Amino acid sequence: MNIESYLNAESALIEAAMAAFMPEAAEPLGGHVEAMRYSLFAGGKRIRPILCLAAARAVSGELEAVDALMPVACALEYIHTYSLIHDDLPAMDNDDLRRGKPTNHVRFGEAAAILAGDGLLTDAFALLTNRQYLRLPQAAILAIVGQIATAAGSFGMVGGQALDIANERKDVSFDLLRTIHQYKTGALIRCAVLCGAIGAGASDAQLAAMDGYGRQIGLGFQIVDDLLDSTATREKLGKSAGSDAKHGKATYPALFGIEKTRNLAQEAIDAAIQSLALLDNKADPLRAIARYIFDRSR
């Protein structure tokens, strides 16, 4: 399979769905919705929703199952986008560029940016439970809401960001670095994979395989992100490069050097693919995505 065209086609489907789920709004709320849409349609890689849909396809292969998961996939992207808006705030990483554009608070002001983030986070849960789009069994959608809230909350993404901020400019052990990554990035990526599998009616064995894949790919993704931050340019990233070093953040390259870090990324990706051993060729997109994530680092 051609992974580039697969990812482009999936991105286009997801963006069309998000545009339908969050159309421009009339006054009085037009300005607030514009601020949310500004970041939502700023052209991310859509890796979380793509993983969610690919996991559903790997389990069921039926188009309807994948289709029914579109609100879940988009809700994951709302939540990822909110986290970027809040992470970029002056009180947090104070970044002015994201995906090649001014960050949300630079464009709309700090108060509007905080509220755009709050809105995306809350609206994600409204989208997940919107009767108009609800085609999954009630038990599945409840399990999915629980997975997402847990992965995004205080013992997931938010907790990871809190830990990351609290440990800036401190001596961070490898154990703590791994914990920060697991919470901050790993939890939501693993969750995206699990939600796709749950929505498609995965068996316990399939869920266990997806869990292993999700954990390893989340780890690999973060290691590659650290690598890119330390080696790529601002132009290539579309955001400030060297941001981790600027904030005195612990990273894999800082702890292990570039070569060892690249090996660790490769190991995580190999382990992710290994986790899928019991799944047939319907899981090939998941395998290709794993390889693609590693190839970003070169």
Closer residue to its own copies, CB minimum distance, 176 or 228:
176
Give the span between the Cα atoms of 56 and 147, in whole angstroms.
Answer: 15
Binding mask 120-159 for its own copies (x = CB under 8 A): -xxxxxx-xxxx------xx-xxx-xx-xxx-xxxxx-xx
Binding mask 5-34 for its own copies (x = CB under 8 A): -----------------------xx-xxx-
**Quick check: 74 binds its own copies (CB under 8 A)?**
no
**Quick check: 205 binds its own copies (CB under 8 A)?**
no
Closer residue to its own copies, CB minimum distance, 1 or 155:
155
Contact 99, 42 (CB under 8 A): yes
Nearest Cα to 82, choosing from 25, 142, 22, 1? 22
Closer residue to its own copies, CB minimum distance, 176 or 232:
176
Identify the residue among 119, 186, 199, 212 touching its own copies (CB under 8 A).
Answer: 119
Closer residue to its own copies, CB minimum distance, 150 or 231:
150
How many chain residues interact with its own copies (CB under 8 A)?
54
**CB 277, min distance to its own copies, A:** 30
Closer residue to its own copies, CB minimum distance, 11 or 179:
179
Closer residue to its own copies, CB minimum distance, 65 or 127:
127
Q: Which residues of 117-139 are buried (b: 16+ CB within 10 A; e: fewer)?
A: bebbbebbbebbeeeebeebeee
Residues paired with residue 101 on neighbouring β-strands, in sequence order: 98
Nearest Cα to 88, choosing from 108, 105, 100? 105
Identify the residue among 11, 178, 179, 246 touching its own copies (CB under 8 A).
Answer: 179
Structure tokens at 175: 């154990």
**Quick check: 169 binds its own copies (CB under 8 A)?**
no
Identify the residue among 46, 86, 215, 287 touching its own copies (CB under 8 A).
Answer: 86
Q: What is the CA radius of gyration of the chain?
A: 18
Number of helices followed by number of strands (H, E) in the chain: 16, 2
Give the span between the Cα atoms of 19 and 49, in whole angstroms.
Answer: 14
